[in-house]
Amino acid sequence: MTNVSHRRVSVDGLDVACREAGPADAPALLLLHGFPSSSHMFRDLIPALADRYRVIAPDLPGFGQTAMPPREQFAYTFDNLAKVIDGFTEQLGLTRYAIYVFDYGSPVGLRLALKHPERITAIITQNGNAYEEGLSDGWTPIQAYWREPSAAHREALRAFLSPESVRWQYTHGVADASRVSPDGHALDNHYLARPGAHEVQLDLFRDYASNVALYPQFQAYFRQHQPPLLAVWGRHDPFFLPAGAEAFKRDIPAAQVQFFDTGHFALETHAAEIADAIRGFLAKLG
């Protein structure tokens, strides 16, 4: 059995919660979750990797057990999420590490790569998009909010925050929904029910446009630095299309791409298979 520690780290006064396992002197792997989840999504992956790697999974600001300061005190932008996670890595003394990026974790992790390319040893992207062709039609109402940030467009996006919508994100595209534990989406809905949480998430929906604006910079980073990259993708993701996974090979010809017969939250059904892919990928890097 793997011992997983649950820690809290203060970053400029903001309390960041994280899960950590594995030898302190082992190669580090930073796991960055997505919307609307937390480090809980890595509960099966962490034990599968911690014998060989120091695995660290923080909750982003406003998510999980990490603090959710009022919007008047903390601007919920992806730049600020990345700034906090950058400070978190420095508090933990991470000077070289691989990143596993999923959904929102992708623009957060790739901002770290832009700022500290020398620190990133490898990238595992699980439905973590960096190309416009990876965006499905599911983004249409969010893109409308980017173009016109009106109260009406903001209100229309509240449907994404309903318990039914969160559950759907976990089960859509899954061949056997009974394999998806209800604990994940139940926990996400618990956190989303906190006072002020919906406004935080709506702010992030609006700011997601900043991530798309950075796609050319992310792609330039890929071309210049050629980081070892493994894309492990739920083929039936309703938000991030398989074309977004294949696109990595355009800028990193040696990138590896593997598809799994599942949806957005691929770890819910294919944690063992994804762990095997990661172990094989990282082992070749030495």
Amino acid at 10: S
95: tokens are 């000077």
CA distances from 231 to 16, 62, 131, 244, 265 (A): 27, 27, 13, 10, 14
Q: What gap in Å lies between CA 61 and CA 63, rounded to an integer? A: 5
Note whether 142 and 208 are within 8 A (CB).
yes
Block residue for tokens 């937390």: 38
Set 153, 236, 264, 270: catalytic member: 264
Amino acid at 104: Y
Q: What gap in Å lies between CA 26 and CA 42, rounded to an integer? A: 19
| 270 is known as an active-site residue | no
Q: What gap in Å lies between CA 267 and CA 138, rounded to an integer? A: 21
240: tokens are 């991030």
Alpha helices in 139-266 (DSSP H): 140-147, 151-156, 163-171, 182-192, 197-225, 242-246, 248-251
Q: Mind telling me the catalytic residues?
A: 264
